[in-house]
Structure 1
């Protein structure tokens, strides 16, 4: 048998609801290939592989619900959080075509970074007991929701010890959990920052450039910086939000803030900043942790982000605020050196937390299951 026929295939099923599920999939692929680059690793959006025409409408609906109807979204989210996943049958719409796809690819292992994808893999394994495919589920927010939990899943990657403990309290075996943090690219790893004479603040709105503060705040900060340019260095990354980029660079340009559009070197950028003002998504949070960057986050309104914000508070790795006025006060306090000890405290807490998670073992954990 030649080497190509011998090659093992790992399928990573993901989804486009927020950037975190896809970035976790890419990070896991990176860790696997670092361990053995002879593995065939396929990343696939499980909706595109099954009912592709509904992918865009579903993503749009998710974005609109989280933005305009967070109360309704949270009702459903918290219902699923404590609801046994076996009663949720929404995955069935994807199964006929996804089953065909899995059979045609014939993977040796399936990794899911989205709950409904994990439900599909579980259904496949229950209906095909003669060819059960080993499976891993990667929990991409700091949550202990039951929507991620399925009977045939062999291993779970979880964000922290607390999440493992909470699942064990719910009756699950401690042996199936691996504490990896939310997987992010190892390019973000930065254990020691090179300090600057200025405080460096990065404003991030995720890949889509959607910020939790108004454009008017950006203009306030730009004017405020006029007197403090020697003490504070600010960069805004607008991502794929071209309208905002044009507003801040052409229509009403900022003079004291560096405005960047879509960047491909996010990991390098993050290593050069002392603080990041951003959203509380799981991937963003662990990119900040990996690069030793404390974060400033608005108290969120959406289920999983609320859980992530609780984690930020409980671990002491960021600052939470309620509105733009709060945020202005935080900026002023930073410049008056009133938060120096708090920033140092957050740095220490991030350094300690990193000793409790093991993203560097992701490759080992995958091969532990693949080889068995």
Structure 2
């Protein structure tokens, strides 16, 4: 489903459209984290919409396939296009074309749902132009879900930006977005990351004994990491480390790993999982994590205090994400299975380096990002309502009169 409605909250509260796109899982997960945080504060009118899928279902399906294939078939081309368009301005022809998708559908959604605010967790920014055309005063927010700022995210008519780092705030300011309109919140995560109590029952649930150093290998939401078997073999060849591999929805990879290591002398130190709903629990048991450097997964690792390894990141936002965290001391970029295994074993055997990386993780991680955004949003609504009551007495913009005749 590309439209999800929240359950009623504890109060009436504002009605919010959360616009995402399902290119990877991160944009949707960020939207759901916001839905959860808002719901805890009585905001029950939350509607999650995959705008591209709703507006152009055929195009959405094709572009998602191309996006996925580009990581394996044409990664250099994808990286070239990403880097070439990264500095683009909102008023360039290419940006205007990209942001034109979904405008007609968004008009219909605004008419149907009459929201008090619109949030984006994906840079398909149809809202600024639609809002301008209709003369609406609906505040519009953008939540950046990567550690790198592509020009697609930047538009002067976004009322509020929520970004993961101080460095990104500085970059937005350099692109002429005013300082007061930027909040350094972090990337929104579901509740639980960084706050799990490690207990014997939890260890038994995942088969990771007390006193062990567990390496968590994330094969990606669709099991996209290559040579997971080679990495497991290299790590298990050394005494000590346990290995937990999350294969996502790739059942073939999970079965292959189980068969390959069925008779291995260290098979007792290997745990293979499919899709893990409560991944924050498994992260709490690990000593470090190997992952593709998608923004949301990296944010989960930061919040969980997990030193990160990013093997052979593909060009584009993932490579830039990995480089940013590596510069900050929270991640290690590697190339090839042998180098990756050696770097992991080196870290696990060096308490000083492990402590330094954990300190870097603490500096960069923001585990309460979703709550920060929810509180900031509700505060901004209160300020706007107070301003309206002084300058323009009368009902708020969501009254029927504000929408009728404009569609």
Alignment TM-score > 0.5, same fold? yes
- Is the counterpart of residue 244 in structure 1 residue 258 in structure 2? no
Question: 1:205 aligned to 219, 229, 233, which one?
Answer: 219
Quote the Cα distance in structure 2 between the aligned partners of 1:361 and 1:291. 17
Q: Given the superposition, is the C-alpha separation of residues 165 and 234 from structure 1 closer, same or farther in structure 2, using an over 3 Å criterion?
A: same
2:102 equivalent in structure 1: 94
1:305 equivalent in structure 2: 318
CA contact (8 A) 1:32 1:366 kept: no
Quote the Cα distance in structure 1 between the aligned partners of 2:285 and 2:11. 45
Quote the Cα distance in structure 2 between the aligned partners of 1:344 and 1:58. 42
User: How far 1:7 sits from its partner (Å)?
Assistant: 5.1
Quote the Cα distance in structure 2 between the aligned partners of 1:303 and 1:237. 24
User: How far 1:214 sits from its partner (Å)?
Assistant: 4.7
Q: The residue matched to 2:54 in structure 1 has which SS?
A: coil
Question: 2:301 aligned to 256, 272, 288, which one?
Answer: 288
Deviations 1:1-52 (A, max 9, x none): xx9996531010001111111111111111111222x431111111122112
Number of equivalences: 359
User: How far 1:171 sits from its partner (Å)?
Assistant: 2.0
Quote the Cα distance in structure 1 between the aligned partners of 2:316 and 2:152. 13
1:365 equivalent in structure 2: 376
Q: 4+ runs of 1 displaced by more than 4 Å?
A: 3-7, 191-196, 355-359
- Is the counterpart of residue 52 in structure 1 residue 65 in structure 2? no
Question: TM (normalized to structure 2)?
Answer: 0.82
Question: 1:345 aligned to 356, 371, 388, which one?
Answer: 356
Q: Given the superposition, is the C-alpha separation of residues 237 and 214 from structure 1 closer, same or farther in structure 2, using an over 3 Å criterion?
A: closer
> Unpaired segments of 5 or more residues in structure 1?
none
Question: TM (normalized to structure 1)?
Answer: 0.89
Q: The residue matched to 1:210 in structure 2 has which SS?
A: coil
1:12 equivalent in structure 2: 18
Q: Given the superposition, is the C-alpha separation of residues 93 and 158 from structure 1 closer, same or farther in structure 2, using an over 3 Å criterion?
A: closer
Alignment of 1:257-276 (within 5 A): 257-276=270-289
Quote the Cα distance in structure 2 between the aligned partners of 1:191 and 1:268. 6
Deviates more, 1:105-114 or 1:319-328: 319-328
Superposition RMSD in Å: 2.5
Q: Given the superposition, is the C-alpha separation of residues 334 and 152 from structure 1 closer, same or farther in structure 2, using an over 3 Å criterion?
A: closer
> Unpaired segments of 5 or more residues in structure 2?
1-8, 200-208, 385-407
Question: 1:182 aligned to 183, 187, 190, which one?
Answer: 187
Deviates more, 1:236-245 or 1:163-172: 163-172
Alignment of 1:152-191 (within 5 A): 152-190=157-195
1:234 equivalent in structure 2: 243
Quote the Cα distance in structure 2 between the aligned partners of 1:10 and 1:359. 15
